Amino acid sequence: MDRAFGRTKILTNHLLQLQLQSSASPNSSTASLSSNACLSFTPPELSETYAFDIKEMRKLVDRHHVEERDWLFGMMRQSEVFNPRERGGKVFVTPDYNQSMEQQREMTWKRIEYLRDRGVFKGWLTERSEESEMRCFACMEVMCTFDHSLAIKVGVHFFLWGGAILFFGTKQHHDKWLRDTENYLIKGCFAMTELGHGSNVRGIETVTTYDANTQEFVINTPCESAHKYWIGGAAKLNINGINQGVHAFIAQIRDANGNVCPNVRIADCGHKIGLNGVDNGRIWFDNVRVPRENLLNSVADVSADGKYLSSIKDPDQRFAAFLAPLTVGRVNIAVGAVYQSKVALAIAIRYALTRRAFSVKPYEPEVLLLDYPSHQRRLLPLVAKTYAMSFAANYLKMLYVKRSPQTNKTIHVVSSSFKATFTWNTMQILQECREACGGQGLKTENRVGQLKGEYDVTTTFEGDNNILMQQVSKALLAEYVAAQKKNKPFKGLGLEHMNKPCPVIPSQLTSTTLRCSQFQMDALCLRERDLLNRLVANISQHVAKGESKEHAFIMSFELAEDLGRAFSDRVIFQKFLEAEATLAEGSLKDVLGTLRSLYALTCVEDASFLRYGYLSVDNSAFVRREITKICSELRPHALALVSSFGIPDAFLSPIAFNWIDANSWSSVQHR
């Protein structure tokens, strides 16, 4: 009743003002209602305080090449080619997604030329060191912060085409192709995926045969399902009628003038829900001949007289050696996904710190969105998840650049796990941030909604996420079987916790227990351990019924996927703990510890803890209440936490700042 009375009074005041205006200006043909007090934008920095040093937090989160990142951000901000535009008194840089597909592709190439001419790509293929590789990662993270098409176009050229030359090729290939590739004198693509086969690389149908008379390989697309798709080269090699498996060849598809080469057919993949700045295409080979030296022969070779040569005799090991260098694609996708989460959360949190909705009591000011517990619960666990992914991504990058034959298996398992987990998380974060921004989240210029379409592909390219998670579980299963067979302790993939007594979750949980890092680690290890044991038992039951191991694993897919997620959550949490341990006592460590608890309890809140009986219903409800409590404790740090992501204002969007001016009538007139 009070609220109805208050609104009636406001309307009465409006009508009285209108009457006064009409009396004062009897000749006026128009009179409008006016509000007593219009909404105004107040920068959150005026009311929010920083309890810790955001520069130090950013160093911890980015970990490496902070100055290089800022240099590249600044370079991109200064050029017209990155489409700067003014909104609400600030300049933003973002692609113009209203352009046609052809225009977007043209702009992507112009941006690549701009970066190339300023030395951004110097040493990416010709300088091989941990430092140069980490610098590449840092630059790629900046590029994907601006535009996914730019990052993918650069990534395909350097990491897939260039990486194939580097890792599959030998010195003759390096000398001939790498420097020209680095300088973009040669533009390359990587043609592995086919219409009929994507994740199942063994099943690709393109065939290459060797002609000893001319010392040439003949590449052929034998059927429609074999044509290369989403290319933006691999084929099965037949020697004397024997299929030697997947191998990589260099095949020229256009001449120096850009014309399609003889016996090659090319078609566009067409308009997509995102990534329209990338010219994905399809390729058919009609008995295309390439010289013998175009076989990338670091793993296997063919002699002039047609003999197949390889130091790796086992076909499965040879296949694994061919795929190992492609891991960098999954690493880049995983790391890039984290930065999209940062962009979306920085925008959504800043908007929630300035946008108000509803009053708690009549005549009181409307409440900031982020002061509602429900809004905190929507966004702050995602901030914690993004910090966790950041620390895990840093671990993944270091694991990759320090790679060795002994660590290849670990890199494959961790990169598969993180690629799936990070991209799934990012799509969840983008959706939640889109909704949290309301109608403004639909506008392309506000980025969050557009990013959903741009990044949706990350859940399926470089390996479908569900398949990758099953690969992770297969690797864990193999470790289990090996340990049992040899009667030795677990060693590798972080499974050493399986050698210890099984953790026990207390029947009565307290706030202190839930925030204890040892309890958090025990809970995650318990789930991983139990799911691995369950998977082994389930497969054994199927095998006992006479089913093959392969079929038994397929029938255990639910356990396998849950195990893959459990492994990923445990490793990510472990890397969060390790990052926290590097800090001295103080406010930075205190806030990070609270954030770590929020991430851990968000994992524990997962349905699997109830499904498999690790938590009682009462304990699960207690975990949920504790998460809400932690969110309220982190609310004062929200701005500082997203500011620590280090994303420059120009790479966010108008609703992250003065969204009233950005949508004013004057802004319409000046567009």
For 62-115, the DSSP string reads H-S-HHHHHHHHHHHHT-GGG-EEEETTEEEE---TTS-HHHHHHHHHHHHHHH
The answer for residues whose C-beta is within 8 angstroms of residue 517's C-beta and 6 or more apart is 577, 593, 596, 597, 600
Spatial contact of 13 and 37, defined as CB atoms under 8 Å apart: no
DSSP readout, 248-317? EB----B-TTSPBPTTEEEEE----SS-TTS--EEEEESSEEEEGGGB--SSEEE-TTS-EEES---HHH
Instruction: Find the helix or strand (DSSP H, E) in which 210 lies.
Output: strand 207-211
Residues 430/344, Cβ–Cβ less than 8 Å: yes
Burial 418-436 (b: 16+ CB within 10 A, else e): bbbbbbbbbbebbebbbeb
Q: CB of 219 within 8 A of CB of 285?
A: yes
**Could you give the C-alpha distances from 43 to 11, 85, 635, 655, 663, in angstroms and in order?**
30, 20, 16, 11, 16
Tokens of 329: 């694609």
List, for residues 585-634, the tens digit of each pLDDT value.
Answer: 999 999 999 999 999 999 999 999 999 999 999 999 999 999 999 999 99
580 catalytic residue (yes or no): no
Distance, in Å, from the CA atom of 160 to the CA atom of 190, rounded to the nearest integer, reads: 6
| Res 24: pLDDT | 47
Residue type for position 618: D
Say if residues 215 and 304 touch (Cβ distance below 8 Å): yes
What does each C-alpha distance from 242 to 395, 486, 557 come to in angstroms? Answer: 42, 36, 34
At which residue do the structure tokens 């840093």 appear?
394
- Please, which residues bridge with residue 235 across strands? 247
d(CA 144, CA 150): 7
User: Which one from 462, 479, 561, 626 is the annotated catalytic residue?
Assistant: 462
DSSP, residue by residue, 315-374: HHHHHHHHHGGGHHHHHHHHHHHHHHHHHHHHHHHHHHTT-EE--SSTTSPPEEGGGSHH
Which residue type occupies 85?
A: R
Residue 316 vs residues 203, 245, 415: alpha-carbon distances, Å: 14, 9, 20
pTM of the model: 0.92
Determine the 3-state secondary structure of 26 from DSSP: coil
**239 in helix, strand or coil?**
strand
- The span from the CA of 613 to the CA of 606, in Å, is 12
Report domain extents, the chain.
54-183, 207-315
Name the token pair of 429: 């974060």
User: What average pLDDT does the chain have?
Assistant: 91
Closest C-alpha to 236, from 227, 245, 224: 245
* The pair of three-digit structure tokens given for residue 233, joined into one six-digit string: 């080269």
Q: How far apart are CA 337 and CA 118, in angstroms?
A: 26
d(CA 281, CA 187): 14
Please identify which residue in the block is written with the tokens 């009549």.
362
Among the listed residues 43, 42, 50, the one whose alpha carbon sits nearest the alpha carbon of residue 643: 50
Check whether domain 54-183 has CATH 1.10.3470, yes or no: no
Q: Distance (Å, rounded) from C-alpha 629 to C-alpha 352?
A: 19
Main-chain dihedrals φ then ψ at residue 639, nearest 5 degrees: -65, -40
Q: Residue 317: its pLDDT value, please?
A: 80
Show Cβ contacts of residue 528 under 8 Å, excluding neighbours closer than 6 positions. Answer: 497, 563, 566, 567, 570
Written as one letter, the residue type at 218 is: V
CA distances from 389 to 136, 422, 423, 452, 643 (A): 19, 7, 10, 18, 17
H/E run at residue 382: helix 373-401
Q: Residue 172, class by beta-carbon neighbours within 10 Å (0-12 exposed, 13-18 middle, 19+ buried)? A: exposed
Q: Give dist(CA 309, CA 651) in Å, integer.
A: 51
Burial class (CB in 10 A: 0-12, 13-18, 19+), 168: buried
Helix (H, G, I), strand (E, B) or coil at 645: coil
**pLDDT for res 386:** 98
Q: Which CATH superfamily is domain 207-315 in?
A: Butyryl-CoA Dehydrogenase, subunit A, domain 2 (2.40.110.10)
Considering all CA atoms of the chain, what is the largest pairwise distance in Å, rounded to the nearest integer? 104
pLDDT attached to residue 4 = 53
Kindly report the backbone phi and psi dihedral angles of residue 220, in degrees, each rounded to the nearest multiple of 5, phi listed first.
-140, 140
Where in 69-200 does DSSP place strands (E)? Answer: 84-87, 90-93
Q: What DSSP element (H or E) covers 217?
A: strand 216-220
Residues with Cβ within 8 Å of residue 127, at least 6 apart in sequence: none
Q: How many Cβ atoms sit within 10 Å of the Cβ of residue 304?
A: 9
Q: Give residue-wise pLDDT tens across range 337-384.
A: 999 999 999 999 999 999 999 998 888 889 999 999 999 999 999 999
207-315 matches 54-183 in CATH topology = no
Coil/strand/helix, residue 93: strand
Q: What share of the chain is helix, strand, coil (3-state, %, to 5)?
A: 60, 10, 30
What are the structure tokens assigned to 530, written together? 């139990």
Angle at 199 between CA 313 and CA 448, to 5 degrees: 140
Tell whether 232 is in a known binding site. Answer: yes
327 is in an annotated binding site: no
The mean pLDDT values, 10 residues at a time, for the chain of 671 residues are: 51 48 46 55 92 97 97 97 94 95 96 97 95 97 97 94 93 96 94 88 90 95 94 60 82 91 94 94 96 93 92 81 80 96 98 94 91 98 98 97 90 96 98 97 95 95 92 96 92 94 94 97 98 96 94 94 97 98 97 98 97 96 98 98 98 96 83 63
Q: How far is CA 63 from the centre of its chain?
A: 18
